[in-house]
């Protein structure tokens, strides 16, 4: 199992452009979450996808959108890129469960995509 894989690893875009980042979850996982990690900061939650729908969303503008496919892989799209969108974008996969304090709900992270907006 390759774990969580993200592509591309690095990307340079110009202000105003659009970008799509991709994530394949760990085998057996059905939930994908995206995080933005600015330099020197902890990861910040963007949104989470489950059953091909956005289930939770953090404090990010509508320029950030996503999609989950039937095979549980996911895409993060950012429109009208700003310089401030430059960051490491992390994907995390997990297994959804309704059980409280379930030890199987550990989130596994990908290596991330480093986006630079110039």
Partner 1 sequence: AQRVTQPEKLLSVFKGAPVELKCNYSYSGSPELFWYVQYSRQRLQLLLRHISRESIKGFTADLNKGETSFHLKKPFAQEEDSAMYYCALTGPQGAQKLVFGQGTRLTINP
The token duo for 55 is 């289930």
> Nearer to partner 1 by C-beta: 42 or 84?
42
Instruction: With beta carbons less than 8 A apart as the criterion, state whether 23 and 76 touch.
Output: yes
**Quick check: 31 and 74 in contact, CB under 8 A?**
no
Residue 83 or 100: the one with the smaller Cβ distance to partner 1 is 100
Q: How far is the CB of 61 from partner 1 (least distance, A)?
A: 17
Report the C-alpha gap between 87 and 84 in whole angstroms: 8
Q: What residues line the site for partner 1 (CB under 8 A)?
A: 3-4, 31, 33, 35, 40-45, 48, 56, 58, 90, 92, 94-103, 105-112
Both structure tokens of 78: 């950012």
| Of 76 and 92, CB closest to partner 1 | 92
- φ, ψ at 106 (rounded to 5°): -60, 135
CB of 31 to partner 1, least distance (A): 5
**Residue 115 parent element (H or E):** strand 113-117
User: Closest distance between partner 1 and the C-beta of residue 18, in Å?
Assistant: 25
Nearer CB in complex with partner 1: 13/58 = 58
């Amino acid at each position: 199992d390759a774990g969580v894989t993200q592509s591309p690893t690095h990307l340079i875009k110009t202000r105003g452009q659009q970008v799509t980042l991709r994530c394949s979850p760990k085998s057996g996982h059905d939930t994908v979450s995206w995080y933005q990690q600015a330099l020197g900061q902890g990861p910040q939650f963007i949104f989470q996808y489950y059953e091909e729908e956005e289930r939770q969303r953090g404090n990010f503008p509508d320029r950030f959108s996503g999609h989950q496919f039937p095979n549980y892989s996911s895409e993060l799209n950012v429109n009208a890129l700003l310089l401030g969108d430059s960051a490491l974008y992390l994907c995390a996969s997990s297994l959804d469960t309704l059980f409280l304090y379930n030890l199987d709900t550990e989130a596994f992270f990908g290596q991330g995509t480093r986006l630079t907006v110039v």
